[in-house]
Amino acid sequence: MTISRSRVLIVLLLSMLIRVPSLKAQSQSPIILEVDATQAPQKIIHTHMIMPVSPGPLTLYYPKWIPGEHAPDGPIVNMVGLKVKANGKIVPWRRDLLDMFTFHLDVPQGVKTLDITFDYVEPEVTSGFSAGASATDKLVVISWNQNVLYPAGRLAQDLIYKASLKLPEGWKFGTALPVESQNGNQIEFKPVSLNRLVDSPVSAGEYYRVINVTPPGEPIHHEIDIAADSEAALNMSPELQKDYTNLVAESGKLFGTRHYRDYHFLLTLSNHVAHFGLEHHESDDSRTNELALIDPQQRLNMAMLLPHEFVHSWNGKFRRPKDLSPPYYEEPMKTDMLWVYEGLTEYLGDLLTERSGLWTPDQYRENLALIAARYGSGRPGRTWRPLIDTADAAQILYFAPNQWVNWRRGVDFYDESVLIWLEVNTIINQQTHGKKSLDDFCRLFYGGPNEGPQLKTYTFQDLVNALNQIAPYDWAGFFHKRLESTSPEAPLGGIEASGWKLVFTSEEPALMRNSEEVHEEIDETYSIGLILKNDGTVEDSIVNKPAYEAGISPGMKVVTVNNRQFTPEVLRQAIRAGTTSKEPLRLLVLNDDYYKTCTIDYHGGERFPHLVREAGRPDLLDQMLKPLAAH
Ligand SMILES: [Zn+2]
């Protein structure tokens, strides 16, 4: 069953009546929000708000659950300097004792507006998504949720904000937020609802470039807005511009419609900001290395970033699981459907990466082989933690360390779901005798007229019903089996049904070598079971693999290999030499303050995952990878 718009409204109204604690501050006048980012290079952003209020008790919220981050990670610790005034006099506030994001105050009689000022101080840490470092000497990304308070008692879609932004002199900017006027470095935005505001970040910088990536004949404007730490970093090649234009064209063919007025890829290139991608309905906030456009290795490493975030405009923003769509930012999210929200986005994003030319078909298959291996023998944690629990526990797993990820599991609902959605695609093919594919599902589930950035929520049953319209099948049974499995094997049915199989050889795939070099690490997961930094520090030791059995764990440091000083190449050569030697591998390992020798009796040589064709089966993968648009 598909929830109609009127049903959605009833649900939202009910949740407002039942859950919202206060009905104060109901004035329809917009809340004035003035953000001063002129000191962004000094890592401090100033906010001044003028909020219409009524006398009496008032509760103010700082956004806690951040859309797209699926976690209560609003950076409250960096919101400082809070002062509230009425008619020039201080109004005292008190933080809620149970919720750190909630402030209580008493509005004096006769007061119609509050003056609220506070600062957002930029952290230096490059972890934590949008709450991580967001400003450098030359650029800033303004995530409005960090610079806003809102009154309890109203839904985010009903609170109207009139925002303005002051930038350092001479900086340029990009955003999906409609601009009303600009006077030098002062930008006035049109009034919008709080959820539109929070969904429309601004990137700005001294070195800034706007690249039009609207394909010929496409009526909706698309652009890449690049802020970088240097002029040279903005130099996107014409070939790469063409690939991103292809990406826009391919998305149009895949979904058949769009649900935005125009689209801004906000791309921030700096080694001093957090690196991640965060989706929005009419833009994305993607941040990566300064040289990502001009260094071929880094460019390849970020190939899937923009396609993934772009797909979210349909899958995640237009269509979103109901439990991931709370009506205001203090209400918790339930994240059990992230295998669709993120997993299907990952599958479609990878397909669009290849169809647009950002990857070759070989690179797509190399990536698929890596996923098949990593979430199989590289993830013994799958024997205790089913995939669904990685989604249920997303709010803690996003912030888990890399160490022990093989046994803990991480946010595996991204990549393991690629295998599941590939299998869905092959089942649709089988059930319809080759007449339909997941592309048809995309046009059905994400279709409908473009009414701008609308939200249409769905449930598990809605998803199953839509798939049944494309190809009748026991989809609920299929998903439950895949999501609840504790088998040690990754689900490879999709790879096999599309005419390929996973094998291991001693030859390292180029994509894997590229990733190792970019991340300065060495991946011997499928031989001795270790991932190490280039200095020998153990990132992960796969439980029950030879190195783990020999006593090696994450955090230890390999110092020598067969008595020779460790380098990545020395270790690789020793593993290879083991195939023709009876001698075990001897690693001298530093564990805290103590050295110990670990003896690994392994003679299998280096092992890397590849896909090879299965004779006699048609190549469905080749069919899926064919571009849909003329390039
Ligand atoms: Zn995503």
- Model pLDDT for residues 514-566, shown as the tens digit of each residue: 999 999 999 999 999 999 999 999 999 999 999 999 999 999 999 999 999 99
Region of 493 (left: φ > 0; alpha: ψ -120 to 50; beta: rest) is: alpha
Q: Which residues of the chain have pLDDT under 50?
A: 1-27
Kindly give the distance from the C-alpha atom of residue 99 to the centroid of ligand 1, in angstroms, as a whole number: 28
Residue 262, both tokens? 């125009």
Mapping DSSP to helix (H, G, I), strand (E, B) and coil, where does residue 183 land? Answer: strand
Kindly give the distance from the C-alpha atom of residue 278 to the centroid of ligand 1, in angstroms, as a whole number: 7
Kindly give the distance from the C-alpha atom of residue 310 to the centroid of ligand 1, in angstroms, as a whole number: 9
pLDDT in tens, 473-501: 999 999 999 999 999 999 999 999 999 99
Q: DSSP letter string over 362-400?
A: HHHHHHHHHHHHHTTTT-GGGGTS-HHHHHHTHHHHTT-
Asked if residue 187 lies in contact with residue 118, where contact means CB atoms within 8 angstroms, the answer is no
Cα gap 129→289, rounded to integer Å: 14
pLDDT number for residue 81:
98
Q: Where are the domains of the chain?
A: 23-61+76-122+144-200, 323-491, 527-606
> Class for domain 323-491, per CATH?
mainly alpha
pLDDT number for residue 613:
98
Q: Which amino acid is at 455?
A: L
Cβ neighbors of 498 (< 8 A, separation 6 or more) are 422, 425, 426, 617, 619, 620, 621, 624
Kindly give the distance from the C-alpha atom of residue 144 to the centroid of ligand 1, in angstroms, as a whole number: 20
Residue from 477, 455, 479, 129 nearest 312 by CA:
455
Kindly give the distance from the C-alpha atom of residue 70 to the centroid of ligand 1, in angstroms, as a whole number: 10
pLDDT number for residue 9:
39
Kindly give the distance from the C-alpha atom of residue 47 to the centroid of ligand 1, in angstroms, as a whole number: 29
Kindly give the distance from the C-alpha atom of residue 341 to the centroid of ligand 1, in angstroms, as a whole number: 7
Kindly give the distance from the C-alpha atom of residue 342 to the centroid of ligand 1, in angstroms, as a whole number: 5
Kindly give the distance from the C-alpha atom of residue 343 to the centroid of ligand 1, in angstroms, as a whole number: 8
> Class for domain 527-606, per CATH?
mainly beta
Kindly give the distance from the C-alpha atom of residue 316 to the centroid of ligand 1, in angstroms, as a whole number: 8
Are 23-61+76-122+144-200 and 527-606 in the same CATH fold?
no
Cα gap 486→353, rounded to integer Å: 31
Residue from 217, 208, 213 nearest 238 by CA:
213
pLDDT number for residue 311:
98
pLDDT number for residue 631:
87
Mapping DSSP to helix (H, G, I), strand (E, B) and coil, where does residue 618 land? Answer: coil
Residue 158, both tokens? 């009903």
ipTM reported for the complex, 2 dp: 1.00
Cβ neighbors of 66 (< 8 A, separation 6 or more) are 73, 74, 129, 130, 131, 145, 329
Kindly give the distance from the C-alpha atom of residue 344 to the centroid of ligand 1, in angstroms, as a whole number: 9
Q: DSSP letter string over 300-338?
A: HHTTTHHHHHHHTTTBTTTEEEGGG--SSTTSPP--TTH
Kindly give the distance from the C-alpha atom of residue 300 to the centroid of ligand 1, in angstroms, as a whole number: 19
pLDDT number for residue 6:
39
- 192-193 and 160-166 as β-strands: parallel, antiparallel, unpaired? antiparallel
Kindly give the distance from the C-alpha atom of residue 569 to the centroid of ligand 1, in angstroms, as a whole number: 35
Kindly give the distance from the C-alpha atom of residue 311 to the centroid of ligand 1, in angstroms, as a whole number: 8
Kindly give the distance from the C-alpha atom of residue 308 to the centroid of ligand 1, in angstroms, as a whole number: 6
Q: Kindly report the CATH number that applies to the domain delimited by 23-61+76-122+144-200.
A: 2.60.40.1730
Asked if residue 283 lies in contact with residue 224, where contact means CB atoms within 8 angstroms, the answer is no
User: Could you write out the three-class secondary structure of 550-610?
Assistant: CCCCCCCEEEEECCEECCHHHHHHHHHHHHHCCCCEEEEEEECCEEEEEEECCCCCCCEEE
